[in-house]
Every structure is written in C-alpha cells, then in structure tokens.
Chains A and B, each alone.
Chain A
Amino acid sequence: MPEKFDVIVVGAGPAGTACAYVCAKNGLKVLQIERGEYPGSKNVMGGVLYRKQLEEIIPEFWKEAPVERPIVEQNFWFMDKESVVKFGYKGLEWGEEPYNNFTVLRAKFDQWFAEKAVEQGSLLINETVVTECLVENGKVVGVRTDRPDGDVYADVVVLADGVNSLLAKQLGFHKEFRPDEVALAVMEVINLPKEKINDRFNLEDNQGATIEIFGDSTKGNLGTAFIYTNKESINIGVGTTLSSMIKARIKPYELLDYLKNHPMVRNLIEGGESAEYAAHLIPEGGYNSVPKVVGDGVVVVGDAAQLVNAIHREGSNMAMASGRMAAEAIIKAKERNDFSEAGLSSYRDALYNSFIIKDLEKYKDAASLFEENPQYFQYYLPMLNKAMSEFFTVDGVPKKEKQKAMMKMFTGERGKLAVMKDIYRAWKAVK
C-alpha cells in the first residue's frame, strides 16, 4: 500500500507554501511537491510583496524573511518618447513597522517560505514533476509524479502549480487560455551599488521605491513596465498581454532593451551589471478567467486559480491568502471527514467573500476595455505629456488661452463626444 497523506500540495510558490504551512501547523500530514531544483527556481515576479496577507500567516515575518527593501515611495509614470508625466506618493509611515510592502527576490524568498512550512512538519520533495491527478470515480485521490513508483495518495490535492496549471486543465476546470488572458513579462536584475541606488532614487539604506510605467514603455501596447529597487540591485521589466505582443509583432527582449535605453529610464540603470534575465506569464484574465476552484478531493489556489489583480499589481499576496483559505477549508473537511466538493466548499465561499474575488470582480471589464480601445495608451498618454509641457512652458501666452488650447488638444483629434465617451467608459470599468 503506497503512503497516504492528508494533503498533497503541488507547487512550492507562495500559494502552495501558505497552504502547506497552515495545514502542517494544524497537525495535518502534508506532502509538498516542487518541480524545480529548489522552491523559487521556476518562479518570477517583478518583486513587490505586500505585508498584510503573509503577516496573517507568519506574524512579523519581515524580521527574518529575506526581503530586500520596504517600499516608501510608489510612482506612476505616463511616458512618451521624450517626456514623462509623473505621479506618486512617498510616505515615511511605510518605512516603519509593520510596513506596507517590500521588494523581494523570489528565488531567495520562496526557499525561505517553504523552509518555514517544513519547520511546521510539511514534507517537501523537490525536483519532482506531477504529471497528472489520479482520479477515481470522479474524485481526485492523489497524484502521479515523474519518479519511479511515483503515485502518491491523499484526501485532498491542492493545485498550486502556477499560471499554466496543466493539472486544473486536465481536470477540465478551465480550457486552454487565450493570448489576451495572459501577459508575457520579461525582466532583468541589474546589480548596482547601494549608494548609487540611494542617490538615484533619493532613498536611505532601508527604503525602497517602485515605478510603474505606462505608455511608450510598451510602445503604446496594453501593458506596463516597472522599476523596483532591491538592496543592491534593480529589477527592471516590461510586459504586455500576449495578444498585444503578437499583434504588434514585438520581441519581448527587444522591448526590454528599448525600455532600458529610453532617455527617461537609462540614467537610473547606467553602469549597472546585469545579473539575471527571466521571463514568465502573468494570469491577467481576471474575474472572468477564474476557473472552478473546488472539486471532489481537490482545490485550486494562487496563479493556478488566476488570482491576480493586474491593475494594483497584486498577486503573491492573493496567492498566500487563497492558500490559507484553502488550508482552513481542508482542516474543516478533515474534522467532518468529508473531502467532497461540498465538504471543501467553504474555500470557495471564503475566496468569493474576500477582497480577492471582490477586487477581481470590480475590474472585470477593465482589461478588455483597454485591449479593445488602444486610444487610452496610444492617444491620451502622449496628449497628457503635451498638455503638461504646455502647462509648464512659459512663453508669454496668457494662462487662460493656454488652458483653452490644452482642452482643445485633448478633444481636437477625436472630437468632444468621443472623448466624453472614453472618459465615461474608463470610469465605469474601474469605479
């Protein structure tokens, strides 16, 4: 008789590890299976981890976790070819405990987090691929791995296998994703001395800054670029929906180099030494792409459940919260010894009553609006730059006339009615 566990968690990213941690802490017998050499070796993130959802699992984690810098300044840049309009906030309240968010390097962070679950009694097996879920009479009863005699059984299988989630697809929980449901992002980690980072970003040693860049950073395509400060390196990356990249015939690494050489960006990374290049998909389909998340003997968490809020760049925090909610549902199911879909349904209820699905639902139409209406990125952002240039240039034109000219610029090419319509639709999509 092969060994049987209470829970098998497939994947050792933030969602899987949060689930394994909470299950093990509550006395369940947990096996966590990771296909990489170590947790984090397959995982990529721009780098912002929010404090709240991890703190609910491990209080004061920042005192021991390998975080880079607490973020005290967050910026949005609306960039044109030779100009940028900046909007941001810096607040020293974020530089003190309990902090708001941190930059992290995932290969380091995920290893630490998985080790914490092991300390709680979870068994972690690396370098092992789960090739399929074992299904008996419509119920998931375990997993098949690529190891010899690799079948393992459990009451519940947790699919935390990431954005591609081949396992949820195998179970029929979702169809293959469309190119407009995923974003392809590429990034580089660029080493820079701490002093240079502090000077260029106006920071102290234990302060970080983030910049999200819209507009020319993606050559007007639907997506964003980002620059995040680590202790002694900078993460710089760019992503667009895969569909936009296909439509525009863009090579992602050429877009990254375009960004790195952009006159508004290049001085920030000047003299840096590239340390790593990485590509990854981000599930950006939002509310409409969330698959079935509970079945008989199985739950789906994190990226595998497409839990990403692209507008607020939240993902790893949602992953951890969903992993914790799944664990709490499994613990309840164990008490009643009912691992059916009904027995595990409190996970779905918790998820749909939480900020996670509420936020995804709020923005459910935003992605398709911006995908189908390129004018937001291609027309209004350059126009905003021209308007700001006009506003700040002193050239003897009376201010009242300037204001008129600016308004006319905005409505000129598209017409007043079209502009009003665009504003209304954008407001409706994000309200």
Chain B
Amino acid sequence: MSTKTIEEKQYLVRFKCDTKSHLTILDHEVCMTKCPDKLCTLFCPGEVYKWEGTRMQVGYEGCHECGSCRIGCPHQNIKWEYPKGGHGVIFRLA
C-alpha cells in the first residue's frame, strides 16, 4: 500500500536521533503572543512542530533537515543547526 498519513510516511524514514535537539525555539513567548498562525506547524514536511496550547513542541527526531522552518518562520524564531555528524535523517533511496 502507498501511505495515506504523515505518520505512515514518517515511519518509512530512517532516523538516527541525537540526544539533543538541533532545532531551538529562541523565545516561546513569540510563538504564544506574536504568531497566531503558527505556520511552522503547517508547512513543516515532517510535522516536527506541534502547538500544545502554551508551548511549541519540537519533535526534532523526525526532522528531514530541509531548512524550511528557519526560512519560513515569520519571526526568525528558530535556531537551526545540523545534527551531530552521522545523526539525523538517513535517506536510503531518494
């Protein structure tokens, strides 16, 4: 079967997770008070960003390292680094 949901899609991808996040929300207040649309929760292709009412949850473990969130955050509120060498997403095909 071909996938139907983002959960099924992410399940196909191999990730070697680092113990610490390579993505950092610089100021959670900005997400709370200045960003009604929370765009990163929409366009992030790995559904890494989830708004939990008062705080942006960052599921860095499922990050494809595309860079969209760094460029697309309207408040430049995401510090974006590469995961430690050898860690993060490991594409086997594409």
CB of B2 closer than 8 Å to a CB of A:
yes
- Contact residues, B36-94 vs A (CB, 8 A): 37, 39, 42-43, 45-47, 64-68, 70-72, 76, 80-86, 88-94
Contacting residues, chain A, for B43 (C-beta < 8 A): 184, 242, 245-246, 250-252
Q: In the complex, A214→B9 CA distance in Å?
A: 24
Smallest Cβ-Cβ distance to B9: which chain A residue = A277
Contacting pair A105 B94 (CB below 8 A)? yes
* A163, B91: Cβ atoms closer than 8 Å: no
Whether the Cβ atoms of B64 and A278 lie closer than 8 Å is yes
In whole angstroms, how far apart are the Cα atoms of A184 and B40 in the complex? 13
Q: Are B45 and A253 in touch, CB under 8 angstroms?
A: yes
B-chain residues with CB within 8 Å of residue A166 when the two chains form the complex: 81-82
Nearest chain-A residue to B6 (Cβ)?
Answer: A253
Q: Assess whether A107 is in contact with B92, with CB atoms less than 8 Å apart.
A: yes
The answer to whether A279 and B45 have CB atoms under 8 Å apart is yes
B68 partner residues in chain A, CB cutoff 8 A = 182, 184, 242, 279, 281
Nearest CB on A from B11, distance (A): 9
A145 partner residues in chain B, CB cutoff 8 A: 85
Given known pairs A128-B85, A146-B85, A279-B66, the reply for A40 and B91 (CB within 8 Å) is yes
Q: Tell whether, in the assembled complex, residue B86 and residue A274 are in contact, meaning their CB atoms are under 8 Å apart.
A: no
Chain B at the A interface: SS class: loop
Contacts known (A35-B82, A184-B43, A260-B2); A275 close to B91, Cβ less than 8 A: no
Q: B10: CB under 8 A from chain A? A: yes
Known: A41-B91, A42-B89, A279-B64. A274 touches B84 (CB 8 A): no
Instruction: Write the chain A residue with the least CB distance to B13.
Output: A277
Cβ–Cβ contact B45 & A184, under 8 A: yes
Q: Which residues of B contact A107 (CB under 8 A)?
A: 91-94
Interface size on A, residues (CB 8 A): 58
Q: B1-45 interface mask toward A, CB cutoff 8 Å, 1 = contact, 0 = none? A: 111101011101100100000000000000000000101001101
Nearest-neighbor residue (CB-CB) of B1 within chain A: A273
What mask results when residues 23 to 59 of chain A are scored 1 for a CB within 8 Å of chain B, else 0?
A: 0000000000001110011111101000000000000
What B residues does A119 contact at CB under 8 A? none
**A186 contacts partner chain B, Cβ-Cβ < 8 Å:** yes
Contact A253 B66 (CB under 8 A): no
Contact check, B71 vs A42: say whether CB atoms are below 8 A apart: no
Residues in B neighbouring A37, C-beta threshold 8 A: 16, 86, 90
| Residue of B whose beta carbon sits closest to that of A261 | B4
- In the bound complex, do residue A278 and residue B8 qualify as a contact, i.e. CB atoms below 8 Å apart? no
Cβ proximity bits A252-273 to B, threshold 8 Å, 1 near / 0 not = 1100010010000000010011
Residues of A within 8 A of B1 (CB): 273-274
**B interface with A by C-beta (< 8 Å):** 1-4, 6, 8-10, 12-13, 16, 37, 39, 42-43, 45-47, 64-68, 70-72, 76, 80-86, 88-94
User: Which chain A residues have a beta carbon within 8 Å of chain B's beta carbons?
Assistant: 35-37, 40-45, 47, 105-108, 126-129, 145-147, 163-164, 166, 176-179, 182, 184, 186-190, 233, 235, 242, 245-246, 249-253, 257, 260, 269, 272-281
Complex A-B: 29 CB contacts under 8 Å: A36-B86, A36-B90, A42-B89, A106-B91, A127-B86, A145-B85, A176-B76, A184-B68, A188-B2, A188-B3, A189-B93, A242-B43, A242-B68, A242-B71, A242-B72, A249-B37, A250-B42, A250-B43, A251-B42, A251-B43, A252-B43, A252-B45, A253-B45, A276-B13, A276-B92, A276-B93, A277-B10, A279-B68, A280-B64
